[in-house]
Amino acid sequence: MTLFFQQLVNGLSLGGIYALIALGYTMVYGIIELINFAHGDVYTLGTFFSLAVLTLLGVTGVVSGPMLIPIVVLTILVAMVLCGLVGVIIERLAYRRLRNAPKLAPLITAIGMSFILENLMLYWRGPSPVPFPDLLPNPQFALGAVTIQAKQIAVILLAVVLMAILQTFVNHTRMGKAMRATAQDRDAAQLMGVDINTTIAVTFLIGSALAGAAGFVSGVYYGSTWFFNGFAAGLKAFTAAVLGGIGNIAGAMLGGFLIGLVEAMTTQIIGDQWANVVVFSMLVLVLIFRPTGLLGESVPNKV
């Protein structure tokens, strides 16, 4: 039972990372119906950008005292802005021209973009895992026999806070309304005066910025990263987005936490070499039995 609760905590914090990535998938899919394969790699870029900022600031180990908060905030912000820009550039270069092309075309450029990003990171930081400074002081709390690390709570909190901000943005601002309108019917939105190109670019900006934040978090959480990290994480986050109901922001969050739990429990019960197999099998099962996800609404095929 102790093990169960321990894995529950581990799974939830893991899920926080997946949830942040899943938000980007779900937003982009919601608005242009494209699986942005490059999104997982933007997340890895977020870790590398954070690492670059920390190196510039001369941070190599635990930061204690009053400098901790500004350093963390600055690093996250820079990673988010840079990743957001990368997302916008990807959309501009690889997807915008193909918005009205047959469905296959943007999917194939998305895979191409993912390969390009991965290999640029390979050039930048080499093929082996790169260590990430363990900058948070990490007190542990004992809750009975279960140990909870401070950074696990921080991950969950950050994910929840960012999602709350996003939810407010989408539901209560003019741009958010434009995004929802574009997602529902692009042509009608355009006729109503919505600037489609800007709206889609902003969607990529926000989604990729969240992946950047997830990248920072994963660096702190795992203590290292490598250029190929985003592939499996991206696939799991996409599973989370589908599980929650693609296009649905709260769903992505729920799906992310669930996938984190499934991964943690699989690792505990049958061994970590099966974690990916179980998560991807879940993706297949969800798509077969409930393609609309837990919170999604069914969408009829458009003619």
Partner 1 sequence: MAIVAFAVALVLPFAGHNAAFTNFLADAGAFVLLALGLNIVVGFAGLLDLGYAAFFAIGSYAFAMLASPQFGIHLPFWLLLFVASAIAAVFGILLGAPTLRLRGDYLAIVTLGFGEIVPQTFLNLSQWTGGPNGIGSLDQPMFFGLRFGFDALPYYVLILALIAVAIVVANNLRRSRIGRAWMAIREDELAAAHMGINTTTTKLAAFAMGASFSGLAGCAYASKLQLVSPDEFGFNVSVFILAMLVLGGMGNIPGVIAGSVILSSLERFILPQGTNALHAIGLNVDLTNSRFLIYGVILVMMMLFRPEGLLPSRQRKAELHAADTDSTAAARERLLSTDTVR
Give the residues lining the site for partner 1 (CB under 8 A). Answer: 33-35, 93-94, 97-98, 101-109, 111-116, 118-120, 122-123, 231-232, 235, 238-239, 242, 273-274, 276-277, 280-281, 283-284, 287-288, 291, 301, 303
- Residue 97 or 197 having the CB closest to partner 1: 97
Q: Are 59 and 71 within 8 A, CB to CB?
A: yes
- Whose Cβ is closer to partner 1: residue 13's or residue 266's? 266
Decide whether 124 or 141 has the Cβ nearer to partner 1. 124
Phi, psi of 170 (to 5 degrees): -70, -35
Secondary structure (3-state) at 173: coil
Closest separation in Å from C-beta 104 to partner 1: 6
- Looking at beta carbons only, is 133 or 245 nearer to partner 1? 245
User: Residues 6 or more apart from 87 whose CB is under 8 A from it?
Assistant: 24, 39, 42, 204, 205, 207, 208, 209, 211
Q: Phi/psi of residue 55, each to 5°?
A: -65, -40
What is the C-alpha radius of gyration for the chain, rounded to an integer number of angstroms? 19
By C-beta, is 104 or 191 nearer to partner 1? 104
Q: Shortest Cβ distance from residue 139 to partner 1 (Å)?
A: 37
Residues 261, 8 contacting (CB under 8 angstroms): yes
For partner 1, which is the closer residue by CB, 1 or 303? 303
Q: How many helices (H) and strands (E) does the chain have?
A: 11, 4
**DSSP secondary structure, 117-140, as one string:** HHHHHHHHH-SS-EE----S---E
Q: Pinpoint the alpha helices (H) of 39-67.
A: 39-57
Q: How far is the CB of 79 from partner 1 (least distance, A)?
A: 23
Q: How far is the CB of 288 from partner 1 (least distance, A)?
A: 4
